[in-house]
Amino acid sequence: MTTERRHHDMGGLDAGPVHRSEHKFEPWENKTDAIVRLLSQPKRGPMMRIDELRRGIEEMGPGVYDELTYYERWIASIANILLEKGVINVDELGRKIEEVKARHVPASGSAKPAEG
C-alpha cells in the first residue's frame, strides 16, 4: 500500500541546508509557545493535544505551509483547532484580529492605528 506524501513531509528529500543559528524570539512567538503549553496542560483538560497541533500544521496546503513561519503555523493550527471545538467562533476571531491590527502600526509608519 502506498500513501501519497503530504507537502510538509520532507523525509528523505533534499530540503537544502539546515540553519542551526539561534535567534531571539519575538514576543508573539513566546506567547504562542505559552498558549500551546496552557492549552495542552494535562491538569486543565487538556483543551488541545500536541498531536492535534501537529495534525493542523500537516493539513495546511502547500501555499499556506510554505508562506508561514514556524510559529505562524502554530498559531494558525491553534486557531483552527479552537474553531473546530467551538471554543471560539469565526466572528470572535475576526473581531480580535481586527483589534490587534488596529493596535499596531506597520513598520513603514505610513498608517495610523485605529482609535477606539
Q: Which domains does the chain have, with CATH numbers?
A: 27-103 (1.10.472.20)
User: How far apart (Å, rounded) are the C-alpha atoms in residues 15 and 77?
Assistant: 23
pTM over 0.75: no
List strand residue ranges (DSSP E) for the chain, in order.
none
Task: Return the sign of the alpha-carbon dihedral for residues 70, 73, 79, 80.
Answer: negative
The answer to whether the CB of 74 falls within 8 A of the CB of 36 is yes
Query: What is the chain's length?
Result: 116
pLDDT tens-place string over residues 35-91: 999 999 988 778 999 999 999 999 998 889 889 999 999 999 999 999 999 999 999
